[in-house]
Structure 1
Amino acid sequence: MSALQGCVDECRRCAVLFRLGRDVEAALDMVEVFEGVQHLLVPAAADAKQAWTHLLTQMLDCQERQDWLGLADFMEYELIHLLESSSA
């Protein structure tokens, strides 16, 4: 399994935890997911890094508001899309 696929799988797993209301466990996993994303985006173009910064801000805002479903959506759709498009 590639690093990209592993990170995508972890994004989905974390999103499922948020949707199930297991926010404490999901938040701990989210830290590891974000570290993996950061590592994968090191060689990415500047616009991908800027998109990551914007997306991270939105996800942290969801976390602050305890909007677990919104955070799950960002992780499962927007973040995965960013990862896949930046690796192409």
Structure 2
Amino acid sequence: MSALGQCQDQCRQCAALFRLGRDVEAALTMVDVFEQAQQRLATASMDVQQMWAQVLMQMLTCQERQDWLGLADYMEYELVELLENAGR
């Protein structure tokens, strides 16, 4: 599996933990997921980097509100798609 595919799988797994109510475990995993995503997106176009900044802010806002389902949605859909676009 490619590094990109692995990162996308980790996004989905972390989102699943949030959906299962395992927010402490998911939050710890999320830090690693964000670091890997940052590494993948650091060399992407400026448009992708700006979208990453927006998605990251939205995810952190969800975390602050303890909106675990919203955070899971951003990780599973928005972040995975962003990583996919950056990989092209």
> Alpha-carbon deviations, 1:46-77, whole Å to 9, x = none?
01000000000000000000000000000000
Match of 2:19 in 1: 19
Structure 1 residue runs of 4 or more that deviate by more than 2 Å after TM superposition: none
**Alignment RMSD, CA only?**
0.5
Secondary structure of the 1:66 match is coil
The AA in structure 2 aligned to 1:75 is M
TM-score (norm 1): 0.98
Kindly tell me the number of residue pairs found equivalent between the two proteins. 88
Matches within 5 A, 1:28-67: 28-67=28-67
Indicate whether 1:79 and 2:79 are aligned.
yes
Overall identity of the aligned pairs, in % = 65
Question: What stretches of structure 1 of length at least 5 have no aligned partner?
Answer: none
> Residue type of the partner of 1:60?
L
Q: Find the aligned partners of 1:13 and 1:21 in 2 and give their Cα distance.
A: 13
The unaligned stretches of length 5 or more in structure 2 are: none
Give, in angstroms, the shift of residue 9 of structure 1: 0.4
